[in-house]
Structure 1
Amino acid sequence: MHDQKASAAQALRLVTSRFPNALGALLGGSVTQGRATATSDLDVAVLLPDTDVTRREVVRHEGRVVELFLNTLADMPEFFEWDRARRRGTVLFLYDRGLPLYDPHGHVRHTREQARAVLAAGPPPLTSAEWDRGRYGLTCLKDDLADSPVGSRHEQLVLADFALREAAHLLTAHHGAWTGIGKWLPRRLLSADPVRGKALLDGHRAVAETADPVPLATAVEDVLHLVGGPLREGYAQPWRS
């Protein structure tokens, strides 16, 4: 595990040198969760005056990659709602769980309170059209996966990836839970539903390791029945909604 104190000092040097007018800053990501290694990047959120611009930047500081989440104070409520609508809450969780680096006027503390209120409300529920689109797409992926010949490993692996992602989307939505991408997908999936989440992840691994699509197809079917069943015939999607 990379030293948290050293990482925090490094992040603070970056903030004070690049953003002398910053209203506050905090360090998040793997460093604050005890998961970091010496090569892990730093996730740093910086609150800026309203004369600046909300944006995201990636820089290298003292030989280390740093992802900067730069937000003006006035933009935070709208930005948090945008982050909530994506159902991942990336910056919301950064403020909720991050380590304050610099907060002379209490702006970071207040912004953390805002983030926690939005997180407590949970992600927005899916609309009826979104449920139908998700069920239809996952049904197609399940059927294609179950029918995939062992020799078509590229197709099989791609289908497994998409099936896992779509099943995770529907399963977390069913539980009113946050989802994620990359390394956060399995973490959020297991948090939302340890049993069905593990079945999906184990099924995905079975496709990768043994070319056996049955466990994943079975786990996907279980998710489909939980959210209303497979959907094929009768599905319709208007071009304009």
Structure 2
Amino acid sequence: MNADPIDQARRLVCDRFPDALAAVLGGSVAAGRATASSDLDIAVLIGDKGETCRETIRFEGRVVELFIHTRAGLADLFAADVAARRAVLQSVYATGLVLVDVAGEAGRARARAEADLRNGPPAAAPEVVETKRYGLTNALDDLADAGDRIERLAVAGFVLTAAADLLCDYHQAWIGGGKWLPRRLLEADGERGAALLEGHLRLCTSGDPTPMIDAASQILALVGGPLREGYRRTWRGVVPVGGEPGVHLGEVSG
């Protein structure tokens, strides 16, 4: 795959979205970190009669992630990203390469995205932080006691995600998943974030959980420390989506 990815993105938008109001290329290509197999992340603003959706296609041999939205759809997606504390689409508009900009539409979307990023995510509710503390406390106990290597690795993955989420919330910083977890974590707190990541790497390579337990325990101390006895939640008939890892009224630790 030797074609220039930016040229490919321009051709795709021209071919598929000739009436686009704005189009922005984000991801590794826009950041200058692209490899031969990197996909294209393209946000496309369309007219108000269109449909807001996400679609994955292949164009000229390259995988393309399309984020297609109307003006109202973009406002809804920005609000959802803020509520989820991820700001994925805001990052595309704020840092991406503008491919199409009709009557300043891309510029206005970028300004809204930059404002969201400056303001930061909302703080997690105290009840959510308490539940995350409880879940991380249980997981650290399990990590210290785990004799099975496979179980230890599984628990370590949860500890990494839960501790990273708490640390980012403590700093009112954006969170991320996948390759964006370490990036966001280090942006939020270079020292504690690096210690957590190094502890996770040490556990995965040597099996020693001690550095990771120490790093996660320091993060836990920032938000109130371990939480075991005294924790109580009332079942309200709704399973939370994305906000409270590790705790379910039907789940048993140990």
> Taking structure 1 as the reference length, what is the TM-score of the superposition?
0.95
Q: Equivalents in 2 of 1:71, 1:119: separation in Å? A: 20
In structure 2, the partner of 1:216 is 212
In structure 2, the partner of 1:193 is 189
Letter in 1 for 2:110: R
1:79-228 correspondence to structure 2 within 5 Å = 79-149=77-147, 152-228=148-224
Matched residue SS, 1:26: strand
> Taking structure 2 as the reference length, what is the TM-score of the superposition?
0.90
Letter in 1 for 2:226: P
Deviation at 1:163, TM superposition (A): 0.2
Q: Equivalents in 1 of 2:91, 2:216: separation in Å? A: 28
Deviation at 1:13, TM superposition (A): 0.8
Letter in 1 for 2:216: V
Q: Equivalents in 2 of 1:197, 1:121: separation in Å? A: 22
Q: Tell me, yes or no, if the aligned pair for 1:47 and 1:70 is still in contact at 8 Å.
A: yes
Letter in 1 for 2:220: L
Letter in 1 for 2:98: P
- Give CA-to-partner distance per residue, 1:66-109, whole Å, 9 cap, x none: 00011111222222111111111110101010000011221011
Q: Tell me, yes or no, if the aligned pair for 1:57 and 1:68 is still in contact at 8 Å.
A: yes
Q: Equivalents in 2 of 1:194, 1:221: separation in Å? A: 16
Letter in 1 for 2:75: P
Q: Equivalents in 2 of 1:173, 1:184: separation in Å? A: 15
Q: What is the number of residues matched between the two proteins? A: 237
Q: Tell me, yes or no, if the aligned pair for 1:25 and 1:46 is still in contact at 8 Å.
A: yes
Deviation at 1:21, TM superposition (A): 2.0
Deviation at 1:7, TM superposition (A): 1.7
For structure 1, the residue ranges without an aligned partner over 5 or more in a row are: none
Letter in 1 for 2:197: L
- Give CA-to-partner distance per residue, 1:119-144, whole Å, 9 cap, x none: 11100101011011110000011110
Q: Tell me, yes or no, if the aligned pair for 1:77 and 1:114 is still in contact at 8 Å.
A: no
In structure 2, the partner of 1:235 is 231
Q: Equivalents in 1 of 2:196, 2:114: separation in Å? A: 29
How many percent identity over aligned positions?
A: 51
